Amino acid sequence: MTKQALTIALAGNPNSGKTTLFNQLTGANQYIGNWPGVTVEKKEGKLKGHPQVIIQDLPGIYSLSANSLEERIASEQLTQHSPDAIINIVDGTNLERNLYLTMQILEMGIPTVVAINMADMLSRQGAKLDLDKLSKRLGCPVVGISALKGTHINELIAEALKVAKSGQAPKALAYEKDFEKLLSDADAVLGSDLQENQRRYWLTRALENPESLNLKPASLDELSALVKSYEEKEDDDIQSLITFERYALIDQVVEGVRGGKVPDAVSTSDKIDRIVTNRWLALPIFVVVMTLVFGLSVWSAGPGTFLTDWVNESLFGDIIPPAVESLLVNWGVADWLQSLILDGIIAGVGAVLGFLPQMVVLFLVLAFLEGTGYMARVAFIMDRLFRRFGLSGKSFIPMLVGVGCSVPGIMASRTIEEERDRRMTVTVTSFIPCGAKLPIIALIAGALFGGAWWVAPSAYFLGIAAVIISGIILKKTKPFAGPPAPFVMELPPYRWPAVGTVLRSVWERAWSFVRKAGTVILLSSIVIWVLSSLGWENGSFGLVEDVENGLMAKLGGAIAWIFKPLGFGNWRAAVATITGLVAKENVVSTYGVLYGIGEVSEAGEEIWHLLARDFTTVSAYAFLIFNLICVPCFAAIGAIKREMNSARWTWFAIGYQTIFAYVLALVYYQLGTWFTTGAFTVGTVFGIIALVGLLYMIFRRQKDYQKSMVSAAPAK
């Protein structure tokens, strides 16, 4: 008989070290899914050394009041799928604030262990916590750990397994007597409305947020009267009163727990933030940092480019293609199948994988910045900028996530409460270049700009500019009008990230890219080779020697006119753009197949030469603009559909992204060509008209839709 697995949930505030602890406990034994009923990513994993123990990583939350999506997910998971134990991670440097969640967890009656994280930081500051005293007052085990360094993790797990197996629940702490009486009276009123399991938690939840529970109308009325009477007596609203009671209880718990040196009022993080988040210096510093991040990844003299050249010239040039070709010849494989494998699969997939080293450099630097705490500051910095244009800093968080992949970035928009802001964020998140777009950037930078370092950063800031312009335009329309959602976030202290955490982040992102290359890109490369190799030649249908006679050339030629005003009206560019809808990496793999000549190393070199022959520098950057801003890949479109939860809004997002990208590329190419060559054509006129229309949408007066709706309402 198989032993039933134990489930241990990790709960804690954002930036308390919860994810770091999760990585320490599970290592590579992690798997990702979605929470039941929502498309928000969850992580679970098997405890290292204990395959029968499942570690569950709950969203970072400040409370279990179910006021936000994260709180609702955590609350439902703990109440409806009760784990065997909870490890509550508490930031020891911010004890009182973190213990607010602890108070609610203890009310649930689930076996709990409190992990006081960042104990090493406290020691360095000369501060001490009496963990034995804290444990007695909380009524549950308390262990001091450092999730970053992995210290005392074994002791923590031993305590968690002990309480999980014993099933011994902590006793909820008692509030002040008047509030305890209110709880008792509410208990009598609600009776069978509330389940017996975790009843104390449900009582406080019913008092502060009765609408979140399925209460009987009569019970709800009686409870409302009870709450109103208490509010009048205390002269405050019930939410504030409950918050006050919990913090009063926390004050009693922590009294006399601290010892040693009192930490400095101004920490090292505060001193750094005086510069990094300075009103005037924050944006210039951000620009410099992101320029270095993206510039380093495609810099011609950088490590990423050096490794990319080695992969293309050696691995996919001198090693793999000759070896595969030799095997195919020795096995007597047909010429057409050899062409499919060499010119289709290896040329297409190899063209994409060749950029993997540059992507690894990008992922490595981004993971380092995330680990230090700087990327949290970026959201705070961008809130200042975005708020001027109708967006909230909350909208930038999905965009930060989307730098790795647009799909989780779009999904992260679910945490935005305001529906109009959430829809706008979903629409514009993919404007920020994701990892899949880096090969396109690197290809254009190498082929047309000599590997110039500035191309990649300019693409990133182009995405931000597109978001800002869209914010201005959309906020002046009725569906998106209104003030941006308020943005409050806690800035974690600066710290050196754990090497294992950084490498794990890089591995997850890089492996996702490789996995896509081995599936979606592989299939796409085969389809592209088949369509480009079959056609009519010399009066008969079959394999063609000249790719210009293939079906792909005919299909591309039929739609190439659409892109001619943007400067890339040749059939190869049209085909690459369309196949990019499946996956953005397909843009590069398509060129790898269409320009492929047997061996990928030669194809890699000749792609740049032939691409430079098909483009000017102006048309190449217009091609880049369109492919970065237009509709994302199919997977991202699916995420947009799920988050919009509406076919109409999904089509709006797709239409807006495509039209906006077309207008930007049109304006850039037509005016850029005019300025660089002096040629004034009909296309230039359309470019000027498009620019005037864009400027009108940006600078037109904001209409007060709320006022117009009030004036349109019938008089009573």
Query: What is the per-residue DSSP string for 615-654?
Result: --HHHHHHHHHHHHHS---HHHHHHHHHHHT-HHHHHHHH
Cross-strand bridge partners of residue 34: 41
Mean pLDDT value of segment 698-704:
81
- Whole-angstrom CA distances from 215 to 1, 182, 224, 267, 314 are 42, 18, 11, 47, 69
Question: Among 420-434, 470-484, 513-527, which is the least confidently predicted range?
Answer: 513-527
> For 167, left (φ over 0), alpha (ψ -120 to 50), or beta?
left
Span 56-65, pLDDT tens digits: 999 888 888 8
Q: What is the pLDDT of residues 613-634, one digit of tens each?
A: 889 999 999 999 999 999 998 8
Going by C-alpha positions, the residue among 50, 61, 52 that lies closest to residue 97 is 61
Q: What is the mean pLDDT of residues 649-667?
A: 97
Q: What is the pLDDT of residue 704?
A: 65
- Residue 235, classified by CB atoms within 10 Å of its CB into exposed (0-12), middle (13-18) or buried (19+), is exposed
Confidence of residue 450 (pLDDT cuts 50, 70, 90): confident
**Residue 2 in this model has a pLDDT that exceeds 60:** no
More confident residue, 395 or 141: 141
d(CA 689, CA 458): 25
* 567-595 confidence digits (pLDDT tens): 999 999 999 999 888 888 888 878 877 87
Q: Are 631 and 658 in contact (CB under 8 A)?
A: yes
H helix intervals, 299-437? 303-310, 320-330, 335-339, 347-353, 356-372, 374-387, 393-401, 406-411, 419-428
Q: How far are the Cα atoms of 233, 357, 416 from residue 203, in angstroms, in the given order?
A: 20, 55, 28
**pLDDT one-digit tens code per residue, 28-41:** 666 655 555 454 56
What CATH architecture applies to the domain 6-166? Answer: 3-Layer(aba) Sandwich (3.40)
Contacts of 218 (CB under 8 A, 6+ apart): none
Place of tokens 């047309």: 448
Alpha helices in 449-521 (DSSP H): 455-475, 499-516
Q: DSSP letters of 560-611?
A: HHHHGGGT--SHHHHHHHHHTTT-TTHHHHHHHHHS--SSHHHHHHHHHHHH
Residue ranges per structural domain of the chain: 6-166, 299-373+510-614
Higher-pLDDT residue of 338, 460: 460
pLDDT in tens, 177-231: 999 999 999 988 888 777 777 888 889 888 888 877 888 888 888 888 998 999 8
Q: How far apart are the C-alpha atoms of 438 and 276, rounded to whole Å?
A: 27
Residue 669, pLDDT > 90, answer yes
- Identify the residue with better confidence: 47 or 483: 47
Q: Which amino acid is at 600?
A: V
Query: What's the confidence (pLDDT) of residue 647?
Result: 93
Note the pLDDT tens digit of each residue in 242-284.
999 999 999 999 998 887 665 555 577 888 989 998 888 999 9
Q: How far is CA 218 from CA 42, 212, 500, 522, in A?
A: 38, 16, 56, 62
pTM, entire model: 0.74
